A and B are shown apart, each in its own frame.
Chain A
């Protein structure tokens, strides 16, 4: 894997320091240097201030001051609402219960701590960071968000038509690094440059290199 992905920012949110300490130590050994660990989240803004590319989130024990009922799930909802392109791995000690399924479905991966050995952790991190940072995955995700919101954008019908064509084309190239993702970002920016709100989404389009 290109070393560029390893510089992606990882954020661990887990109140049990002992549980994640060996994970973080091992990931550092493997070259993932940009890692932050939060034992609790006092305000939701704190999470996004770190601008993570990939979040490992515990459910129980974190965020209980924010939302005593949902705890970590409240953080998941916030991240997915504010920056839907940020990958979130739910890393829990508990089983994933059916009554939490609707909330858990928005996470990218749900895995129990007990099933995650160090080799599996590295594989999972590489896979998720690649999807978080590689334009062929990141841009497709952003395109699908745009597609869901096209009708609400304050742009003319012709711009909407062009936008729909562009994002549909982008989505058909998922996983294709040879597609002109830089060109796509430029075209989208041109269409949306006057549209408040939408531009922040376009700014998140990844044109991350493969070096």
Chain B
């Protein structure tokens, strides 16, 4: 893996605005840029409804400012931590890691213990899959999945804390997550645009260093879109304004996201095909929602494609654009989608996992396609799904899966 030279990093750091550089923390691969951003901190804390949540949040930021150790936020029913760090930029790979931790808060645990309700305990265990018993650090970057698990833990504990308290706490929790994603997005975007600008201007550095900066921009995009997804998940937009729709180059968006997921494709020996192979493909959409939709379709396509490493020819994922009918089709070959899930529409429900979702070591979370469905609805688009088994008599059955989104 290429390393960025010290002198190049200084150029990048110089290109970063004073606020983002905050200062040198990003450069040092430290997470404290979030904490040093005093304005969002205040705004963020104030935007939370619950007094306790505000206090906890403030403590979180303050502790981030004074230590490099991860800090914690005690949520109404979950012990929940996030921080985002540019991981080891100086040594490269310049990737972004979202650290998170979740487990039961002390108060929730006490409540559970006090009630001694076997039902509550069993329910929690069922919903969390024993998560609360196994607090652990995860750095797989999967913010949404961690959130979903915490959310499930919250639902499990609702039985113990009473319905009224639960709904109040749930609103606080949603508010908290929506605010967090909002506040995290601002500095992320500043870093992203600064890096993008630096990458454009870094003509003197070698290709490897340049690629590393571009890679960092791609990594930031993944976090950015994960946070956008999170914002949608916890604070879904009800309606769109017509002036939110802007012309987006579909071809470039898909290409960019395929580039970001290239290593995942390579891991399964998959290749992406575009039909027709060049633009113009354009649609009027809300750009960030469209990116969430595309990134989820791609990651879903990769996740449920068969592993073609043992084959001579690569497997394929196809993006087809029909400008006449304004439809976008994604085709992959792999795990079949059960017919009943397609017919009932359950495929696009939150937390739904098809009975085949766990096949061959895959771990679906029931969030990606839910977001795809949510965004399609917001954009007034319709989705049709087809899954056709290609080798009914084969040892390992695989299907041709097609998701077609028709925009209005």
Contact = CB atoms under 8 A, between A and B. Distances in A.
Interface string B223-246: 010011001000101110111101
A3 interface: no
Interface stretch (B15-23, B110-118, B377-385): B15-23
A182 interface: no
Interface string A95-126: 11010010011011111111111111001100
B243 A120 contact: no
Contact of A108 (B20, B185, B235, B243): B243
Contacts of A23: 193
B197 A118 contact: yes
B243 A95 contact: no
Contacts of B286: 115
Contact of B228 (A16, A94, A114, A118): A114
B238 A98 contact: yes
Interface string A173-195: 00000000000000000000000
Contacts of A96: 237, 241, 244
A127 interface: yes
A11 to B, nearest CB: 19
A124 B192 contact: no
A124 B286 CA distance: 13
Where chain A touches its partner, the secondary structure class is helix
Contacts, number: 98
A17 B190 CA distance: 10
B245 to A, nearest CB: 9
B193 A22 contact: yes
B128 interface: no
A110 B241 contact: yes
A28 to B, nearest CB: 11
B288 interface: yes
Dominant SS at the B interface?
helix
A123 B287 CA distance: 13
Interface in B1-50: 15, 17-20, 39, 43
A164 interface: no
Interface residues of A, number: 37
B52 to A, nearest CB: 24
B189 A19 contact: yes
A114 B288 contact: yes
Interface in A18-57: 18-19, 21-23, 25-26, 29
B231 A95 contact: yes
B196 interface: yes
Contact of B246 (A95, A109, A113, A118): A109
B360 interface: no
A115 B186 contact: no
B300 interface: no
A84 B368 CA distance: 42
Scoring A113, A115, A116 by chain B CB atoms within 10 A of each residue's CB, the highest score goes to A115
B114 to A, nearest CB: 39
A93 interface: yes
B17 A22 contact: yes
B200 interface: yes
Nearest to B197: A22
A24 B286 CA distance: 23
A119 B244 CA distance: 18
A22 B287 contact: no
A116 B287 contact: yes
B254 interface: no
B216 to A, nearest CB: 14
A120 B256 CA distance: 13
Contacts of B43: 60
Interface of B: 15, 17-20, 39, 43, 182, 185-186, 188-190, 192-194, 196-197, 200-201, 224, 227-228, 231, 235, 237-239, 241-244, 246-248, 252, 286-288, 291
Given A18-B19, A95-B235, A120-B287, 6 more contacts: A16-B186, A93-B189, A111-B287, A113-B186, A114-B189, A114-B288
The 6 nearest A-B residue pairs measured at CB: A18-B19, A18-B17, A115-B288, A22-B193, A115-B287, A114-B185
